[in-house]
Amino acid sequence: MDMPTPLAPACRVEGCMIAVDVVLQSSDNELFGAHTKNLECFNEGFPPAGWAKKVDEVVVLTESSAVLTLLLGFTHNSLALPDLEDGDIDIDNLLSLCEAAEKYGNFIALQACRRGLKNRAKTLDPDGLLKVLRYKVCRFDSTDINDFARRTPGIPVKEVWSFYKGYPEVYYLWSRYQIAWAEWDAEFDSAMDINSYPVRHLNDVRQCPELDKYLDYFRGSKKVSGIRVTWEVFNSNRMFVNGLPGIKTMCGCGAFTKWTANIQKVFERQPRWEDFTN
């Protein structure tokens, strides 16, 4: 409901000199001075400036003051846009800003939100990861979703179930994803097992000792900080090992050739979240 206010608040964007001609109220009852032309130009969801209410009336919005502060920062032609990669911005507020950017059609803010979320993937706690995953799944948004999803299989099932009780479709997808990673783990372990490569070596069918010695450098390399490594990371580690003194990367028995071809195919079969949503 619109309510009168005796004095229009100033615009909170630092350095803004534009006259305030509309007042917005957040869900926690804070008032914001804004500019109808800016709202029209930077957002698709606000009405044209000519339709605006009088400055002595308040437009009540459903967003919190923290979210409106950020959103209004993206309604100015400024080099000093809000820094959404700042770890001090709560993940709930960042996701709420994503929703507001979608709702009002502020595509500058939406792109900044996506960059901010992507850069948070490595530092989010389990709750934060599950929140982002839920947000993206419920909006059919696959942008960078694997950056978050691949960090969740280590979260206890009971914790995930409790978090997604009201979202059975998200839990169902996550469960299938979790099972796929368990199967991939077994495939990776097999690919790193010297017994998977029996060859004729020095006139005897047995394991290649050179490959066995080489694989010792990769024991436990499946995860880094609890996260399954990508092929790019694994291959980078492999190139580093190949450059160490005394390391042999070839043998006449053909075991290295078989292993190199196999391990790359294993990484090509790493689960992707999109595989379970089609």
pLDDT tens-place string over residues 140-185:
999 899 999 999 988 999 999 999 999 999 999 999 999 999 999 9
The residues near 156 (Cβ < 8 Å, ≥ 6 apart) are none
Determine the Cα–Cα distance for residues 63 and 102; give it in Å rounded to an integer.
Answer: 13
CB-hemisphere CA count at 13 Å for 102?
11
Which regions of the chain are under pLDDT 50? 1-5
Determine the Cα–Cα distance for residues 153 and 160; give it in Å rounded to an integer.
Answer: 10
pTM value? 0.82
Instruction: Give how far the C-alpha of residue 74 lies from the chain's centroid of Cα atoms, to the nearest Å.
Output: 21
Determine the Cα–Cα distance for residues 12 and 229; give it in Å rounded to an integer.
Answer: 44
Q: What is the pLDDT of residue 7?
A: 66
Q: What is the pLDDT of residue 29?
A: 95
Q: What is the pLDDT of residue 45?
A: 87
Query: 49, 42 in Cβ contact below 8 A?
Result: no
Is residue 25 exposed (0-12), middle (13-18) or buried (19+ Cβ within 10 Å)?
buried
**∠ Cα 204 210 211 (to 5°):** 95
Q: What is the pLDDT of residue 205?
A: 62
